[in-house]
Amino acid sequence: MMDVLMSWISTLYAVLAVAPFITFVLLWFLVFYFLRDKKMTTRLTMDVTTFFLLGSVSLMWNRLFHTNFGFWMIALVLLIAFGIIGGYQTHLKGKTDLLKVSRVVWRLSFLGLSMLYILLFFVHIGKNYIFST
């Protein structure tokens, strides 16, 4: 039973991570149908889509550079960003609000991973076009 559930969840994740921008649009309309608040819908959809972008970008990185370090590199960059932003907030206010820092890092990672996804997508197309032998 547990194997079937894990297989179903991993298949669902793989399908949604293949095209995270389509997932973003579908989720946005689905969430907006229930919440009716554009600002909250966009933020929530960005947060969920970041989860799919993480897997997609790390897989594209691994395939392009023939490595298994893609996910760990992204995790390292997120941890460094968390430390820098948290340190800056501590310097400004004297204390760190971990929830705010987490939100900022997670939403900035949406922007960064989106740009990296587009870049890697076109690099893959170019690589396959040039080396199509």
Per-10-residue mean pLDDT, the chain, length 133? 92 91 95 95 96 95 95 97 97 95 97 97 91 70
User: CA–CA distance from 9 to each of 14, 27, 104 (Å)?
Assistant: 9, 17, 28
Q: What is the predicted pLDDT for the residue at 131?
A: 80
- How far is the C-alpha of 7 from the C-alpha of 123, rounded, in Å? 31
Q: What is the predicted pLDDT for the residue at 23?
A: 94
The vertex-28 CA angle with 22 and 32, nearest 5°, equals 155
- How far is the C-alpha of 92 from the C-alpha of 96, rounded, in Å? 9
Contact (Cβ atoms closer than 8 angstroms) between residue 4 and residue 17: no
Q: What is the predicted pLDDT for the residue at 96?
A: 93
Q: What is the predicted pLDDT for the residue at 133?
A: 57
